[in-house]
Structures are given as structure tokens and as C-alpha cells.
Structure 1
Amino acid sequence: MQDSASGAAINSKARLNNKVSEQLSQISYWRLAVNLVLMLLDMAMFVIAVAAVLVARNEITFYSSRFKFTLFPVVYFVLTALIWILCLHSSGVYHRHIMGDGYQLNVLIGKATVKCWFVLCACHFVLNMYAKLTAITLTVLLAALLTMIERVIVRKFIIASRKNGKYLYSTVLVGSPEGILSALKMLGQSKQLNYRPVAVCPIRLNENTGMVETETDFGDFLQEINDRWGSRLMMVNYGDRLAERIVAVGAQTVMVTDVLHRFSDNFNAFALQMESLNLEIALTASAVEISGHETQIRDIQGTSIMTIRLPQYSPYARICKRLFDIVVSLVAIILSSPIMLVVAALIKKEDGGPVFYTQERIGLRGKPFKIHKFRSMRVNADAHLAEVAAANGQEMGARVKIKKDPRITKIGHFIRKTSLDEIPQFFDSLIGTMSVVGPRPQRQFEVDEYDQIYATRLLVKPGITGPWQVSGRNDLDEEESRRLDVNYVQNWSVLGDFVYVLRTIGVVIHPNGAY
């Protein structure tokens, strides 16, 4: 009997090992295949750009005084295309979580364009090609534009394929039952995250031994899992060979929700086990964790001291952000002047009331200021807010949003939907009470409801546009909009603000969640 049981165990391990090898090869295959296709497409875009510039400038005949052979043009095309994809790679364009992204991808392509320009200039100097600087510049700019267009098309294909379950990272969630349910809710709401839950691994910390073990007290956990996900989620037990079992269910990512805390022995052992099989570890972290901080460790008389700082709050970074606000505000005001005149005339014509609406909001570090907008509601609408909120089953508080608000005028519906009512706030940004990008300013009764974490949004100037405005606006629930705002406070940058401006333009063209 012992020999039979031992043989069964050996066979079980062998089947597990075979399944692990099979799944690893499948995971590696599709990642490699997608990146190879993307690289070939990017190379093709660069070759097209080179050919187009040479034809347009009538510089089809080109040569190197250092390397003279018949196939030099072919070698040149291949070499420069390889330089292009190497620059893209060094900028992070081929990272596993970037291939289906939009605005972030364009920023990385921009970085690669600058790198490629310098490398091409150096190559032309080494090859003695006597190419004009204008031709090199036009080539890299056209290549960047073509690559962005190509990636837009690829992105649409990837997003469409994700709806059918492709190009998603199959994920096992590890944590307490409460933490797993919270993470499942987050993944179900988010359209940006490309994680597809395939299994859960409920765990707990044994307070007596300090070790992590399988959770046995599920409560309503299993019932909620079945109600929301049915039989789509498998259960994986924590313990030896956990990584192999995770790979065997076809997962590429392990998402840790709680219990396993960073810098602990439990987490270190867990991480080594996962990463030994090339599994990615994703952590659901607090928005104010120190992970985004710049850290420095010093050893002072035998004592190690770790200092942390957020570089974006340095005087230099603040000056750059202020200059960004001034430039963008001036450009926006100049370009939108004709639109503002038309909107002002339409508002005045509808009911004869004032064109602008002024309201006190809470700004940087809790300081009140006056915000300016085009009036989209009837005169004295604020006096009826509590009445309208009660009629719609809402209480006065943070994020009171009413979809069919009877106080909104006819022209008001249009300017709200298109965000034209926000244009006067560029004057607020110009004078410095607001910023172009930041959390939206709120009223005092809303600020009074902030908890300690959400109150950190007052550490930056409020913005005309911000994270939740470009991520669903009023369709987001309160928890998700708060998380986006707090995350912005910790991670903002001038380059990131520029990306938000681009995303805002996209939202204005295709408005979602605006009412």
C-alpha cells in the first residue's frame, strides 16, 4: 500500500511538473510573439519614414565615403530600423504592461525619438554620410508619428481582443478573504488594468508562529465568490510548491492584496518562490506608500538610516510646474477666445443672467479661493442644491452629483457635456490660485468629510483637469476617484501633467461620465 501511495504521489508531482512546463512555454510564446510583431511593425514604420523623407527631398542617392559597397542602402535601412527599435526598447515601449496603453506609450515613444536622433547623428558622423541635419530630424519625427498611428491601430486590436479574454494576464489573488474580495471589486471596475482573475488563494497570519498559512475560516467568502464569479475562479491552497500550482492554472501574475507585508521574511520567501518561475508579483498598495519616494540609505556610526523624499516637491520642480501652468493657460486662453465669446453670448441670450459663475472653493493647504466658470445653471441654483439632492435620494456631502439636475439650463447641458464651462478657469490657473492639472477643488462641506489620507489632496493646487476627470469622471465610484486623486499627489510630474492635458483633449472629443 505504501508503494502504491508513493507511486501515486510521484505520478502527481510528475503531472504537475509537466503542466508547469507546458504553461510556462505557452506564456513565453505569446509574450514573445506579440513583442516580435510589434518590433517588426515599428521597424517597418521607420523604413517607410526614411524612404518618404529621401523621396520628398530628392536624396535617393546616398552613400558613405567610409563603406563603399553595392548593398549599402539595404544595410543602412536595416541598421537604422534596428537603432529605432533599440531606442524604443530602452525607453520601455516593449514592457509587458505598455503594449496596450495609450498616452503613456506616446510619451515613451517621444523619449525614444530624442534618443534615436542623437544616435543617428553619431552614426552619420562615423559613416561619413554627409546627410543633412534636416533630413535626420524629419526622419525621426515622421517615424515617431507613424509609430504612434501604428500603435493606435494595434491598441484597438488588443483592446478588442481583451474582451474575448486575449492579451490579459491571468492572475491569482493571494490574501485574506476580505482583501481578495476588495481586489476583485477593483479589477471588475477598472478598464485600464489588464489582470484577469483565474484563481484565489486565501491566507492568514498565524499569530502564534508568525507564519502564513491557508485560511480555513471563510465565512461568506466562498458564497460571494460563487455569486459574483461562479465556477470561473479556482481555489489554490497556500503551501509548498505554491508557485508550481499557480503556473499550472495558467497564471502569469500573482496579486498580493494583504497579509503578506513587504520587507517581512514571509514575503521574501514567497517572492523568491514566485520569481523563480518568472511569475510577476503585483501588490495592491496604499496610495501613500513610500514606494514612489526617492530613497537613500546611509550608515552612520554603525546605524543604517533610510531617508525618503518626493523629488517633485523640490523648489525646481515647483518652478517648472508653475511655468507649465502659465504657458498652457496662455495658449488655452488665446486659442479658446472665439469660443468663449460665442458661449458668453448664448448664456446671456438664454435668460439674461450673468455669464460667469463664481463660487468659493478650498485650494492649496485648505486656503479658500474663488473659482470661475461659465454659468450652466439657473440664477441662485446653489440655494436649491439641498432640495434637489433630497429629491434624488442623495445627502449633502462630498461628490454630490445629480444626473438629471433640473437647475441646469439648455446651454448649460451642452457646455457641461463638452467641458466648455471650465474654460474660464485657465484665468485662475494663470494667476496661480489653481493649476492646469490637479485634484478638482471642492467646497468646505465636502472638505470637512475628508479622512486623513484623502486630505493629502490639499497638498497640491487644485486643477482644471485631473486624474478622475480623464478616467470616467462622474461614473467612477467615490472610492476609485479618491484613490486616483491621492495617487496624483504622490506621483505628479510635469511630463505626467502634459499627458493629462492630452488625455483631457481626448475626453472632450469623446465625453464619458459628464453631466
Structure 2
Amino acid sequence: MGIGPELARRSAPTHDTSDGHRSVPRRQWQRTYLRSLAITDTTIVVTTVVLAQGAGTMIGGPVDPGSSVPQGLASAIVVAGLWLAILALNGTRKKPIVGSGEEEYRLVTRATLQTFGLLAIASFLVDSFATDLDTIRVYLLLAMPVGLVVLPLGRRWCRRSIERRRVRGEFRTSVLVVGSEHAVDAMVGSFVRDTSAGYRVVGVCTTGYTGESERTTTVAGQEIPVLGAETDVINAVKLSGADTVAIAAGTHWGNGDIGELAWELEPYRVDLVVAPGVTDIALPRLSMHPVGGLPFVHVEEPQYRGSHRLAKTTFDLACAVLALTVAAPGMLVVATLIKLQDGGPVFYRQERVGLGGNVFRMWKFRSMVVDADRMVDAVRTRTGQDDATFYKSARDPRITPVGRFIRRTSIDELPQLFNVLARDMSLVGPRPLAVGEGEKIPGFVPRRILVRPGMTGLWQVSGRSDLSEADRIRLDLFYVANWSMVQDLLIVVKTVRAVLAGDGAY
């Protein structure tokens, strides 16, 4: 090849970030980050178990006076060790998982539930496993719920710290993207949209490269050097100093070619990742199954039925009852203000399309003038949104002064909690479509109505009303295809944060 691997590593260019900081090598910052995760997990687990054991002792947990080591301490060590071991066995600190958000939280939650499930089973099967059943109950009642909340928060704290470093240009992965021009543009665009993932594209190798020097391509406003064709990957790695090669869909390589490239990259300590060619499919729905030496990506069906639907229904009803109980006094004040403003009705009701295409009446606090629906065509024309799938404008003249406040704070949505109790809506889901809305988009409505519409959803926490129409459609369909309880919980938390910040609401 002309240069040996060691010389290539020494001569590969180092990169300065946009603010002048020199990039930390990927393997170095990954080791540092994984070490901080291990320390955070261990601290949380040990502290949670010790506090739970202490609480159990205070309320009468027995201690064996004949033992050289207090039996309570021994059981705490066993529980903490088991918890940490199951976190490791679930792969919660694997490099592809850490910092991935929903999947990382899902695995941490699953490991915690597995730990205490095993404890509960062991307490019945082995009489001498712990002090007694009371000790196990203390762990189940105290340590488990605390762990389910604090462990994901610890991961979130670590993730936020690395995101802040990435904003400053640190802790990034230098990527060389390989594939057809269209596939390369799509992959680079994904990296640009998800800046928190920390991928910095340092070059591309495309099918259409014909050897011209100093060629560049512009994607999402970024100018990226074209370093060669698909067969020039090794030389491009040496030129760019990339520490990861990403193979986009649409390459002309055979199955053996990618395997051969992995061997060629190994001496340079460069990672190889391959896009499977499926988009907008969440990781829990993907699994790898080898068949005759070929890796097949299996895409599981969306989870709409059985225990998953029961869990979502329970979550919706419990949260709706709690929210209505807490918000009732404030809702009474808002209703009074709306009535005093112009004497019109307090609530606004509109027919929307729900689960299975059934039409229902959605409730909101009225934020517009009386008979606003009769003015919608004229307002659409005035704001230049005649052909828009979703109509929403910050300059809508129909909005009243009180309405502007309750829209900005999302208080106008609170009556939809009654729709949740009536099972017309869910707490989280795609926003309910008006009758006839979205019918011009092929396949959009049939997929949207596979789940109940929600009070909040993915696009509401990804920019709210400031998102483009294309992004709203994409995020709605992504939610339908990849629903999970962990995702719902994250959306609820992000919704509260977005409402308090007043981001993108009008």
C-alpha cells in the first residue's frame, strides 16, 4: 500500500475544531466517558442500596448478632453486585449504546427490573438468600423505584456533559462516508441534523469520483472534500485522519468486499459502520440474524397490541387523573378569564380523526374569536398557507389576548385530558388530524390512524410549531412505527421542559 500502518497513524493529520481546540482522539475520550459512566452507575447503585438497607434497619430490619459481618451489609453487597452485573450483561455501557438516548434508558430500565425480579424470585426459592422477606420488600419498595428514576438521570447527566463538550468541538468522531452521491448526501444530512451524536464528516468517497483534484460537495450548508471513489477508502483514511468509516446504502460492493475492507482498516484502528438501508426504524425493532454466513437485519412489527397496549392505557389513565386533579384550580381560573373576555363559549370543540379513522370531538380551551372556523380559508390565504397540510401561524389574527397566553403556555390543551379519559386520545401520540387533513400525502393517514392521537408527540418536543411540514410528517410516522413506553416517558418529560421554556409555541 505504500505506507505501513504505524507510519500512517503517526502521519495522519490531526484536526483543530472550529473554535481552535485540538480534537481528543476518539478512543481516548471514549475510554474516559465509559469510565465516568461506570463510576456514576456504581455510585448510584451503591448509594441506593445502602440507603434502602438503612431505611429497612430503621423500621426494624433484623441483624444477625452471631455473624462476623452484619447480615444486612452482606445482603446489600449481594444486591449491589447483582445490580451492577446485570447492568453490564445488558450492554448498557457498550460503545454503540452509550449516548443513544431512548435505547440507553430502555436497557438501564430493563436491567433494573431484571435485578429486582431475580431478587423477588430468589427470596421465595432460597430461604437463606437474605435476612428475610421484609428485607426484599424494602429493596422492592425503596431501591427499585429510586433506581428506575436516578439511574436514567445519571445517564442523562453524563450525556449532557458530553454534548456540551461537543458544542465546543471536542469529543467528536471523525467520519469518512462512502457510497453513492445520493446515499452520501442522506447520511451526511442525518449527521448534521443530529449534532448531539458527535459525528464530524471529514471527507467522502463517492461512486461518481473520476480523479479530479480538490473536488468538494456541499451538504446541508457544509462543504466536504471528495477524497476518492469507493475503492479509495484506505488512502482517504490516511488523507483525512478519519477514525470511523461509514458505508452508506447504495454502494456497489458485494458481501465479501465489506468484510475485506474491515480487515484492511483493522491495523489503522479505524471503526467500520454500515447503514442497513432502512430508515426511520428505531433500534429495538432491529435485530441481526446470520443465515448461511450472511448477516440479515430483521425488522420486527410495531408494538400495537397485547401487553404493550395495556401498559399504554394504564399510563394514560393514571396520568390523566393525576394531571386533572392538580390542574383543576388553574383550569377554573382560565375558564373564567375566557368567559369574561368576550362572553363566548369557554371550550372549543372540533371533529378530529382518531384510532382506526373514527371521528371524535376534541376539546380545547377557546383561544380564538367566536366563529373562527368560518374565517380559516381567508386567513390561510392571507398568511400564504393555502396548500399547507398543517395550518398554524404565529400571526393568526383570530387569536384573542387570553388565547395568545394559553397557547404559548399550552394551557389550551388541558381539556384534552377528558379525551384521554374517554379513550379518544392518548397522552402521547401523533397530533389528531382534522377531517380531510393530510389526505394528499400517500400512505400518511392510513399509518397515522394505527394509533390513538396524542396530546403531545415527537414533533411537539422537537421544535413544536417551528418545525417544517416535512419534519412533522416524518416524526409522526416515526412515532407510529417505533412506539415504546420508554419513548412515551421521555416525550412527557421533554414536553414539560418545552412548555416551561415556551419554545416554539403559538
TM-score range, shorter chain: 0.7 to 0.9
Q: SS of the counterpart of 2:433?
A: coil
Q: How does 1:86-101 map to 2 (within 5 A)?
A: 86-96=85-95, 98-100=97-99
SS of 1:450's equivalent in the other structure is: coil
Which residue of the other structure, out of 5, 10, 15, is the alignment partner of 2:2?
A: 10
AA at the equivalent of 2:434: R
Equivalent residue runs for 1:64-143 within 5 Å:
68=68, 80-96=79-95, 98-100=97-99, 105-118=104-117, 122=122, 129=131, 132-137=135-140, 138-143=142-147
Matches within 5 A, 1:439-458: 439-452=430-443, 455-458=446-449
| 1:434 lines up with 2:425 in the alignment | yes
Cα drift, residue 94 of structure 1? 1.8
Q: Deviation of residue 458 (structure 1)?
A: 2.8
State percent identity of aligned pairs.
29
Cα displacement (A) at 1:141: 4.1
**Cα contact 2:302–2:481 (8 A) shared by 1:** no
Query: In the alignment, does 2:185 pair up with 1:178?
Result: no
AA of the residue aligned to 2:221? R
Aligned residue number for residue 266 of structure 1: 254
Q: Do the aligned residues in 2 keep the contact of 1:44 with 1:81 (CA within 8 Å)? A: no
Q: How many Å apart are 1:355 and its aligned residue?
A: 0.9
Q: Which residue of 1 aligns with 2:272?
A: 279
Change (3 A) 1:85 1:54: closer
- Tell me by how many angstroms 1:153 deviates: 3.3
Tell me what 2:28 maps to: 29
Change (3 A) 1:296 1:457: farther
Distance 1:294 1:37 in 2: 29
Q: Distance in 1 between matches of 2:470 and 2:247?
A: 20
Structure 1 residues 114 and 145: CA distance shift in structure 2, 3 A: same
Give the number of equivalent residue pairs. Answer: 481
Whether the aligned pair in 2 keeps the contact of 1:103 and 1:503 (CA below 8 Å) is: no
Deviations 1:63-93 (A, max 9, x none): 77998469x9998776654433323233443
Q: What secondary structure, in the 3-state scheme, does the structure 2 residue paired with 1:312 have? A: coil
Q: Which residue of 2 aligns with 1:405?
A: 396
Letter of the 1:338 partner, please give it: P
| Unmatched tracts of structure 2, length 5 or more | 16-23, 292-296
What CA deviation, in whole Å up to 9, does each residue of 1:117-148 have, x standing for no partner?
34556599666555722443334444554444
Counterpart of 2:20 in structure 1 is: none
Separation (CA, whole Å) in 2 of partners of 1:66 and 1:116? 29
Q: Deviations over 1:14-50 (max 9, x none)?
A: 6336568x99x94333222211121122212233334
Alignment deviations for residues 318-345 of structure 1 (CA, whole Å, 9 cap, x no partner): 4544444444333333333223222211
What secondary structure sits across from 2:431 in the alignment? coil
Give secondary structure in 2 for the equivalent of 1:49: helix
Residue 200 of structure 1, aligned match among 200, 204, 207:
204
Change in 2 beyond 3 A, CA 1:11/1:462: closer
Whether the 8 Å contact between 1:16 and 1:248 is mirrored in structure 2 is no
1:16 partner amino acid = A
Q: Is the 2:103–2:283 contact (alpha carbons within 8 Å) kept by the matching residues of 1?
A: no
Deviation at 1:55, TM superposition (A): 4.7
Aligned partners of 2:165, 2:32: CA distance in 1, in Å? 15
Residue 382 of structure 1 aligns with an amino acid whose one-letter code is D
Aligned to 1:3: none
Between the aligned partners of 2:255 and 2:118, the Cα distance in structure 1 is 42
Distance in 2 separating the partners of 1:251 and 1:13: 14
TM-score, structure 1 as length reference: 0.77
How far off is 1:352 after superposition?
A: 1.2
1:223 Cα deviation after fit: 5.6
Which AA in structure 1 matches 2:421? L
CA gap of 1:425–1:94, structure 2 versus 1, over 3 A, is: same
Q: Give the CA RMSD over aligned residues.
A: 4.2
User: Offset at 1:244?
Assistant: 7.3
CA distance in 1, matches of 2:182, 2:97: 30
The corresponding residue for 1:393 is 384
Residue 41 (structure 2) pairs with residue 49 (structure 1): no
Aligned mates of 1:358, 1:17 — CA distance in 2: 66
CA contact (8 A) 1:107 1:499 kept: no
**Kept after mapping to 2: 8 A contact 1:16/1:244:** no
Query: What SS does structure 2 have at the residue aligned with 1:197?
Result: strand
Aligned equivalent of 1:229, options 222, 225, 229: 222
Q: Tell me how far 1:439 sits from its aligned partner.
A: 1.2
How far 1:398 sits from its partner (Å)? 0.8
Q: 2:211 and 2:403 mapped to 1: Cα distance?
A: 54
Q: SS at the partner of 1:469? A: helix
Q: Which amino acid aligns with 1:462?
A: P
Contact 1:67–1:127 (CA under 8 A) maintained in structure 2: no
Deviation at 1:348, TM superposition (A): 1.0
Letter matched to residue 286 of structure 1: T
1:458-486 deviations in Å (ceiling 9; x for gaps): 33222221111122112222222222111
